[in-house]
Amino acid sequence: MKAYIFPGQGAQFTGMGQDLYEASAKARDLFQAANETLGFDITKVMFEGTADQLKETNVTQPAIFLHSTILAEVMGTAFNPDMVAGHSLGEISALVANRTLAFTDGLQLVYKRALAMQKACEAAPSTMAAVLGLEDHLVEAICADQDGIVVAANYNCPGQLVISGEIEAVNSACAALKAAGAKRALLLPVGGAFHSPMMEPAREELAAAIEATTFTAPACPIYQNVSAFAITDPKKIQENLMFQLTAPVKWTQSMQNMIKDGATEFIEVGPGNVLQGLMRKIDRSVATAKASIE
């Protein structure tokens, strides 16, 4: 069985999506629709923008979403998932690819998500850190022991967990994690504490937009970040998405459940190959590949 997986923030690069634009009239139509929906020429920024321009919040998230969803669309019948999942932002890409959300609705949600997250980051300084080489339960326990807000945010693969929260609490957790034997506890160059209680203002803002968006029955199950289990009920998918910004990304658990449910090949759809790398650390026995239009 084939599982298609969609990357999150950080996979952007200059020139992303240009090959799709040049190869497909359908892609050109979708890029043009995106420019109109967003009210600026995101296509130009994706194709010609500098690394710094592509890092801007109002660009990064929609750019990755567009690269992923347009690639899935242009693949046509070659895109035939038995199940899908997306890492953080990638979950909205996956929901468009499996027909739960319309393309324009997904893009609008991604843009609102980016702006709401930016606003939350500016309101309360916060950060994230990658912790390598400790078991999840130890990281969770050490975070719970700190003063202030610091929580497990991204369960990326065994031995790699990202923590998120207030700057002082994250720093003290990093010191305690190193003392407990972590190989590394490294602050990440991010704008704020994603997937933590610090994102509650953004969650509330985005929840209103999600509530007003139409969710339809998916073409195949999605393994959502919040639950890590296969979901096909549109109402449940909608509810889970509302809590994604403040809940941890259960990526390791999602991939393990997909394998349990019969996935033998994982195909990454979108920029970069981060998810293929994580899968090799989760379970080397399954095949991984990169989606392409060739």
Catalytic annotation, residues: 88, 195
Q: Which of 165, 167, 188, 163 is nearest to 177 (CA)?
A: 163
* Distances from the Cα of 130 to the Cα of 88, 149, 159, 180, angstroms: 16, 16, 10, 15
SS3 253: helix
> Using N-to-C axis directions, what is the helix angle for 25-38 and 57-74, rounded to 10°?
150
* Amino acid (1-letter code) at residue 223: Y
DSSP class of residue 249 equals: B
Rounded to whole angstroms, how far apart are CA atoms 110 and 116?
Answer: 10
DSSP class of residue 78 equals: G
User: How many CA atoms lie less than 13 Å away from 96 in the CB half-sphere?
Assistant: 26
Rounded to whole angstroms, how far apart are CA atoms 241 and 226?
Answer: 8
Helix, strand, coil fractions of the chain, as percent rounded to 5: 50, 15, 35
Q: Which of 99, 89, 74, 86 is nearest to 220 (CA)?
A: 99
Q: Which of 206, 133, 124, 228 is nearest to 168 (CA)?
A: 124
The answer to whether the beta carbons of residues 30 and 70 sit under 8 Å apart is: yes
Q: Which residue has the tokens 């929906």?
A: 37
Q: 272: which 2 tokens?
A: 């970069």
